[in-house]
Structure 1
């Protein structure tokens, strides 16, 4: 499975705005003027800015605290110019140098580290981007970054790790778009966390309740999670909303009720569909109806359905099954008729069952033994 990365957009930004809240080394008026001049040329001459900013950064690297701070700002300018030219790896390298300059405060290092992670990702350096971002997230809580970490783990097919990041992103709150919900559901399914995947799908249903495919996915996932009752309930709700229709959806509705342990409801739906001609009244559907009534323990309806099936198919096995049920349920006349037809049709066991029926009838006709005979 492929996922589109939520790319971070690295921005060189206003260089002088990068000055930290705490007091930074004072810059000379000449350096400030040069920095502003280069920044103003970023969009029109990124290549020239890259060259000049890199040279200035190198020149100032061995100076005092003020020079080193100015050098770090020139490195950020060079990174911005390179990013504008889609030279993302070079831009990331310059930001890495900037955040490692001695004297740069922690908050500024973190800002540059976050931007570097975005550039590494755009450069295709996903492993390094993940390392940088994971480290950054130990000190910060940012929803977009958490989703990105989940995305990177999914790209590597590390589903357990991806699921962990998704959980953390969900806990952080923020935007839960349809794409993120779909992504979260897929990750949870791949990691085997089916209950959580189903919870995400339920959220999708709450947000987009008129999407039939979302209802289908939710029902399928509930069944996969071992919750056939919930699967049937979801399908039934979608059916009643008019989101599901047609023969295939109707068949699925019936089968889900059978799986959920509500065979009487399945039989009622199927019986109505056959009566209205919605589904073909063939042997397969009649057999399903008979089995549904049997599971529902409605003996009269089960026998009637099996009799209709046996009459239609005229198969020896169907007559035999009808005869066995009728005998077990005390319907001896029906049992005799069905077993006789089964024997005529070549069912090997029919003769044995007819003998059982005969013995049962003989026992009823025999006089009750006296107390002395019982002994």
Structure 2
């Protein structure tokens, strides 16, 4: 929250609408109030607060003019307290001022609205929300007021109600600030409107680079909405702008291309990354490369990649995977070799696969035994 603006008493005293029928003040009283306001403008906040509170106490219990003057002194004290960074003390003075008998409803509501902002600054969001809710019973409010109500309801985790105020604020036109856009996206997402949250974030990304977390969040939302292609496109745009960078972001770029329907692009990116040592040439990345080529249905590269994985890991299940893949693509020689190694490494399923391999010339199933020529020659 921004600090409460100084309350211009002189303008109020001279220009207030006659419809409010404020009691008449003496010239001496107006001069005293004017003098305190001028001192406040010179940053004499402590002195103004003390003088205003003293005058307010002295006027307690007086006539209508005294009560009105007392309310104005309390308003001055509130402004001084706000400048002294004591928002709760300022809020208390405004609450007292608006409760004075004879204060017009319109002025009391102005003070109520200001008090709500001060309560929020003073870490009393629930009280601030209750005050603002009361104020909205009689006023439409501005976009600023709508954003404040959304913020207060979000602080209470009342996401559905906060979303209604966010949508009301957004419908007022204009582009929200970065902070408000992120508030709105969080509220809409928590309220279940992930599509609205993503659309809001994407609008922010179109006009500015944003920060890395904003791009990551947008991609994550797209994934949760079941649109991995959109997530990959968002991440790719962030990478090309230089907002996303580094090994982890590169890994996620590759994974998103794999999930988003462009596995060949994922494989190409990973191949380059391994060649340039942008990512470690380890089993995890080699396995990811094999998955990417397999998803791209590039038979030769996929089989080569899975063979590389199996040779590195020396694991029976990796040889079994290679054998199953080769079998499905009709690469009988590779299938027999891989399945035989899987069987020898203790994979019981391999024997069944081997028994179903087509027989090679000479009547033997490819890879049926370690001694079978076709498997070794493949």
TM-score range, shorter chain: 0.7 to 0.9
Q: Distance in 2 between matches of 1:337 and 1:123?
A: 73
Q: Distance in 2 between matches of 1:116 and 1:349?
A: 74
Q: Distance in 2 between matches of 1:217 and 1:282?
A: 28
Alignment partner of 1:198: what SS?
helix
Query: Structure 2 vs 1, CA of residues 25 and 264 (structure 1 numbering), >3 Å: closer, same or farther?
Result: closer
Q: Distance in 2 between matches of 1:50 and 1:174?
A: 42
Worse overlay, 232-241 or 151-160: 151-160
Shift, 1:291, TM fit: 1.9
Answering whether residue 110 of structure 2 is matched by residue 111 of structure 1, we say yes
**What is the aligned counterpart of 1:72 among 44, 65, 68?**
68
CA offset digits 1:39-65 (Å, max 9, x no partner) = 31354443333333454463113xxxx
Q: Distance in 2 between matches of 1:82 and 1:247?
A: 53
CA offset digits 1:301-342 (Å, max 9, x no partner) = 222222333334343332332222222222222222223333
TM-score by length of 2: 0.78
Aligned to 1:235: 235
Shift, 1:72, TM fit: 2.5
Query: 8 Å contact 2:154–2:162 — kept in the other structure?
Result: yes
Query: Structure 2 vs 1, CA of residues 175 and 329 (structure 1 numbering), >3 Å: closer, same or farther?
Result: closer
TM-score by length of 1: 0.79
Which of the two has higher C-alpha Rg? 1
Q: Distance in 2 between matches of 1:315 and 1:358?
A: 25
Aligned to 2:169: 169
CA-atom RMSD in angstroms:
3.2
CA offset digits 1:12-43 (Å, max 9, x no partner) = 63240462253736737xx2432332331354
Aligned to 1:257: 257
Q: Distance in 2 between matches of 1:299 and 1:307?
A: 12
Query: 8 Å contact 1:198–1:222 — kept in the other structure?
Result: yes
Aligned to 2:102: 101
Query: Structure 2 vs 1, CA of residues 207 and 128 (structure 1 numbering), >3 Å: closer, same or farther?
Result: same
Aligned to 2:203: 203
Structure number with the bigger relative contact order (C-alpha 8 A, sep ≥ 6) is: 1
Q: Distance in 2 between matches of 1:6 and 1:162?
A: 21
Query: Structure 2 vs 1, CA of residues 225 and 17 (structure 1 numbering), >3 Å: closer, same or farther?
Result: farther
Query: Structure 2 vs 1, CA of residues 245 and 122 (structure 1 numbering), >3 Å: closer, same or farther?
Result: closer
Shift, 1:120, TM fit: 4.6
Shift, 1:235, TM fit: 0.8
Shift, 1:360, TM fit: 8.1
Aligned to 2:36: 41
Unmatched 5+ stretches in structure 1: 62-66, 365-375
Query: Structure 2 vs 1, CA of residues 111 and 268 (structure 1 numbering), >3 Å: closer, same or farther?
Result: same
**What is the aligned counterpart of 2:16 among 19, 27, 34?**
19
Worse overlay, 329-338 or 313-322: 313-322
Shift, 1:215, TM fit: 1.6
CA offset digits 1:327-371 (Å, max 9, x no partner) = 22222222222233333434323333222115587699xxxxxxx
Alignment partner of 2:233: what SS?
helix
Aligned to 1:287: 287
Shift, 1:236, TM fit: 0.9
Q: Give the total of aligned pairs.
A: 348
